[in-house]
Every structure is written in C-alpha cells, then in structure tokens.
A and B are shown apart, each in its own frame.
Chain A
C-alpha cells in the first residue's frame, strides 16, 4: 500500500533553534498534506492543511509565523518549527491525501523535544 514517511523520526534541539520536519509520499502524488500535533496523553489535533503550490491553511490558534509549512512538490511537505521553545515539544504527524483514490495515509510521526 501507499507509504508516507517522516524525517526525522525524533529530534532534540536547544531552545531558540529551528527544526525542519519532512513528510514524503513515497509512491503517490499528494496535492494535499495535513500536519497534526499530539501533546502527551491527548488526541491528535490538526495544525494546518498544506496544498502543493499554494499557502497552507492554518487552524485557529496555530501561529503561521512559528510553524512554517512548505509544500513545494507533489511528494514533499515540510514543517519548520522556528525559534522552538520547550512548549513546542510534541509529537508531529503528517498525512497525505492521494488524489486518484481520495485516500489519506498517515506518516509514523516525529517526536520533537526542545530543551
């Protein structure tokens, strides 16, 4: 079946640095990708919808200047957490929507720890 990968699977960084997380659809084209965040013992929450070739749509309460999303190609979306703070420590998950079958596939997630 279709696979979505994320890189890195985990990252530890210092407060104030920026971290980039990649989401790739490995064997299909995804015009739309979604970024989710999960805090400990909580459910996943949608952060933003990433559309290839256009600006991302952010959910209410998500700072677009802090969480930069780029969807430069049909197989890659990136999420950059800028000037990371400890409260940004979370599990970030992407999903990709395959246009032909209208099926969404989830990535395995990236655990971010900000010290």
Chain B
C-alpha cells in the first residue's frame, strides 16, 4: 500500500524558533507538494518539488528522492505561521495527488 506519513502530527513552538516538519513516502514519486491550510480551510500551495531544495522567504523545502523523504523548514517562526501543513505526493504511476494527514503548527508569541 502506498503511504504518505508526516511527523510530527502536532507541533507547538515559541515565536522565533526554527521549525521542521517531515514527510516520508513509501514508493517512487514524480512530484511532491507542501500545502498550508489555515483555520478557515483555504489551501495555499507553498512549494512543488521533484528534486533538491527550494526557498521562499522564511520557508525552505528539501527533498531526498533516494531516501523518500522531504522536509519543510520555517525559520524565525511567527504566530501567523500557525496552520496545518500538508504534504502531498504524486506517485510515479499516476496523475493524482495523495495527502499526508497534516501537521498542526501553533506558534506562541
């Protein structure tokens, strides 16, 4: 069974802390998305990766294809970063994305 696992499930951090959220998957993928979902539900696509590393502002996403693992890092975290972060992967054998269960991040001032 193809699986997407995220860790941790819940994360509480103090403002300013460096945060890492992990995503592991079981078989080969052609693409991986990191998504952000705020309490109101709206989805924002942060990154799409197929290899290497991407950076946007305080956010960094990395992927290791051999280890089947991706990480999302937030530097200098801020309360407005509080949201659910979701990893979504597209298996090599298909076009649709499958989603991890999400990591709920709370950043305390």
Contact = CB atoms under 8 A, between A and B. Distances in A.
Interface of A: 9, 32, 34, 36, 38, 42-46, 49, 91, 93, 95, 97, 103-109, 111
A9 B88 CA distance: 22
Given A34-B97, A49-B96, A106 B33 contact: yes
Interface string B4-48: 000000000000000000000000000101010000011111001
- Chain A interface mostly helix, strand, loop or mixed? strand
Contact of A104 (B41, B44, B97): B97
- Chain B interface mostly helix, strand, loop or mixed? strand
Nearest to B94: A49
Given A93-B43, A105-B45, 6 more contacts: A43-B86, A44-B99, A46-B98, A97-B95, A104-B33, A108-B43
A74 to B, nearest CB: 16
B101 A106 contact: no
B101 A43 contact: yes
A108 B41 CA distance: 8
A105 to B, nearest CB: 7
A87 to B, nearest CB: 18
Nearest to A9: B42
A8 to B, nearest CB: 13
